[in-house]
Amino acid sequence: MSNPCRRHFQRVTAAIEAAAAAPGAAMENATGYELQLAKLQQDQFRLKQVQSQEGKAKLKSELLPDYEPWVDGVLSAGQGAQDDVLVTVMLWRFDAGDYAGGLTAARYVLQYGLKMPDRFNRTTGCVVAEEVAEAALKALKAGGTFDIGVLRQAEGMTAEHDMPDEARAKLMLAIGRLAAASVDDGKPAEHDASNLAMAKQYLGRAIELHGTCGGKKDLERVERLLKKHAGPAS
């Protein structure tokens, strides 16, 4: 079969097998799924040979397209059966910097309560929140930026999921810092008012959840800017 035909076959197979499996049941003995698992094990072995985290992320980016037909099929017709391939792809997308793709998979994973691989001692909701939060905080620390929309999506998706306060605080801190990062210290403009208000709300919540999260200086800066912004009006 040509590559497009093979990918279509994999997508249809995934949809059929995922639709036939009961919610919470294992996908074992489904031929297409077993083939995906076998490939996943081979790829995980390849990843173990790479010591660099940057190198691992690059390799995951190269491997991920091979799993897209399967994931697309499961997301289109799945009923919530445990799917270790889908959960792993979700994690790999985060590691490879495909946060939108990771959240697309995470929405299904969280909706149906799929479990993380045994090596994880965190809940799925905690993993999703921390993965995007840590990526955003790392980008900011390096002088870059991050899509605040991704963080807000992760916040909404994990709001009802249990996790340590420190983990949720990390997500609140990342949103607060990003909102504050867009505001000029010199003379905040009118349109900065909403960003400052958002930053204050999220930084305050982060500190409330975890007093040593590192957001106190950020909050002090935001409060100074809020006073400066309100100055002319008063």
Number of domains in the chain: 2
| pLDDT above 90: percentage of residues in the chain | 81
Residue labelled with tokens 């982060």? 206
Contacts of 143 (CB under 8 A, 6+ apart): none
HEC secondary structure over 128-162: HHHHHHHHHHHHHHCCCCCCHHHHHHHHHHHCCCC
Q: CA 39, 44, 50: angle at the middle one, nearest 5?
A: 135
Domain membership of residue 149 as a residue range: 122-234
Residues 126 and 115 in one domain: no
Question: Of the residues 94, 121, 148, which one is the last residue of a structural domain?
Answer: 121
Reply yes or no on whether the pLDDT at 1 is more than 50.
Answer: no
Looking at the fold, whether 3 and 117 belong to one and the same domain comes out as yes
| Tokens linked to 219 | 């909050």
Same domain, 114 and 136: no
In terms of domains, do 102 and 143 share one?
Answer: no
Q: What is the pLDDT of residue 228?
A: 82
Are residues 138 and 209 both part of a single domain?
A: yes
Q: Among 78, 99, 121, which residue terminates a domain?
A: 121
Q: How confident is the model at residue 234 (pLDDT cuts 50, 70, 90)?
A: very low
**Which of 29-38, 49-58, 105-114 is predicted least confidently?**
29-38
Q: Which of 191, 158, 192, 152 is nearest to 174 (CA)?
A: 152
Same domain, 175 and 222: yes
Residue type, 151: L
Give yes or no: residues 183 and 112 share one domain. Answer: no
Say if residue 1 is in the same domain as residue 90. yes
89 and 144 assigned to the same domain: no
The least confident of 15-29, 75-89, 94-108 is 15-29
By the 10 Å C-beta count (0-12 exposed, 13-18 middle, 19+ buried), 212 is classed as exposed
93 and 200 in one domain? no
Q: At 39, phi and psi to the nearest 5?
A: -65, -40
For the entire predicted model, the pTM comes to 0.91
Q: Which residue, of 101, 121, 141, is where some domain finishes?
A: 121
Q: 110 and 92, same structural domain?
A: yes
The reply to whether 27 and 116 lie within a common domain is yes
